[in-house]
Amino acid sequence: MAEKVLKKGNEVIALGAIHCGCDGYFGYPITPQSEVMETLMEEKPWETTGMVVLQAESEIASVNMVYGGACCGKKVMTSSSSPGLSLMCEGLSYLAGSELPCVLVNVVRGGPGLGTIQPSQGDYFQAVKGGGHGDYKIIVLAPFSAQEMYDFVGTGFDLAFQYRMPVMILTDGMIGQMMEKVELRPQQPRLSDNEIAKRYGSWATTGKTPDRKGNTVTSLALDPKVHETLNHRLQAKYREIEEKEVRFETLYCKDAEYLLVAYGSMARICESTVESARAQGLKVGLLRPITLFPFPVKEIQRLMPQLKGILSVELSTGQMVEDIRLSVEGKIPVDFYGRLGGVIPTPEEVLEVCMSHYIK
């Protein structure tokens, strides 16, 4: 039987990294995610798997160390919280432009600015719409339990290498600080340069061999043709991801007349809301996007004919709600409810809002 432990979401991000055969973690402490690096330092994976764990001098250094490691075809990652992630956005754009795989974790806190260390979902736009400059996307995974925090590190690396692009785990202080039961997986070996090349193709700068030309990794493309081709290739990749990699979960959606949409911590709250709504005979369902990019546009459109309306529930002033509105193209009403400052609405509070829209 697999080992079950009681751990914080942040702690199992670290364990997930070690167990999936991550090669290197580079980070800089910031509340509410400092337990990620603390746990790595306690676990000392450099003595067991050979994984490198390094506290860099800043977030900017961390993300550029990730860039360097990723160029060599290594499974490398970093984690931070909102202000730190903002510092990393230049590097993120370079990683996307150079088509490099990596995992970034953002344990979001309230902004703008230094804001608050309490949970927030105010970085949805930054994660999903860009953050850095240029026409790029990254895959964004939104875990809603400690188990998913653990599992998504490995999933993130698989997706990052399959599509050669950064993957972000977007979470918040609530999921990061909460302890839950987590089932651990067996240790996976770290992959050698040859194994990476065999599985994902030879693109990494691991040294020229007699049978091939040297590999170059760069995001610079001054030739208009080369640059346009690069961007079209990136866009084609993003369209493929929109076709193949959408992940979501539905609860009581089969006969739902009113739909809640929530991700991460808010999806946990909304699950209870939907359960109480159902207990009162109200036909309310929940859609939980697991990937925020790619967004479950088609699932929303599939459910649309049976719905009187949708409520987006977020710890922000309304960000994901825009993607829902784009999905429904104005055909049904889309309402929004959000709280800020680390105030997490209770399930009953959401139910009241839900009823005020649904039973008009």
Q: Which residues bind to another protein, rule: CB under 8 A?
A: 4-6, 31-32, 117-118, 173-174, 177-181, 268-269, 271-273, 275, 344, 346-348
Cα–Cα distances (Å) from 159 to 101, 130, 264, in that order, read: 8, 18, 19
Q: Which is nearer to another protein, 4 or 199 (CB)?
A: 4
336 DSSP β-pair partners: 312
In which residue are the tokens 């479950």 written? Answer: 296
Cβ atoms of residues 336 and 287 within 8 Å: no
Q: Which is nearer to another protein, 181 or 244 (CB)?
A: 181
How is residue 166 written in tokens? 């950064």
SS3 state of residue 219: coil
- Closest distance between another protein and the C-beta of residue 118, in Å? 7
Cα three-residue angle 38-53-89, rounded to 5 degrees: 90
Distance CA 304, CA 322 (A): 16
Q: Which is nearer to another protein, 62 or 273 (CB)?
A: 273
Q: Which is nearer to another protein, 5 or 221 (CB)?
A: 5
Distance CA 63, CA 57 (A): 11
Q: Which is nearer to another protein, 172 or 323 (CB)?
A: 172
- Closest distance between another protein and the C-beta of residue 286, in Å? 10
How is residue 94 written in tokens? 């370079």
- Closest distance between another protein and the C-beta of residue 350, in Å? 9
- Closest distance between another protein and the C-beta of residue 117, in Å? 5
- Closest distance between another protein and the C-beta of residue 37, in Å? 17
Q: Which is nearer to another protein, 106 or 177 (CB)?
A: 177
- Closest distance between another protein and the C-beta of residue 149, in Å? 13
Cα–Cα distances (Å) from 49 to 16, 17, 188, 232, in that order, read: 13, 11, 9, 39
- Closest distance between another protein and the C-beta of residue 278, in Å? 12
Q: Which is nearer to another protein, 42 or 243 (CB)?
A: 42
**Structure letter (DSSP) for residue 304:** G
Q: Which is nearer to another protein, 195 or 348 (CB)?
A: 348
- Closest distance between another protein and the C-beta of residue 355, in Å? 16
What is the DSSP pairing of strand 179-183 with strand 4-8? antiparallel
How is residue 316 written in tokens? 């922000």
Half-sphere exposure of 157 (CA within 13 A, CB side): 27
Q: Which is nearer to another protein, 5 or 217 (CB)?
A: 5
- Closest distance between another protein and the C-beta of residue 268, in Å? 5
Buried b (16+ CB within 10 A) or exposed e, 97-131: bbbbbbbbbbbbbbbeeebbbbbbbbbbebbbebb
Cβ atoms of residues 265 and 172 within 8 Å: yes
Q: Residue 309 corresponds to which amino acid?
A: G
In which residue are the tokens 């979960």 written? Answer: 249
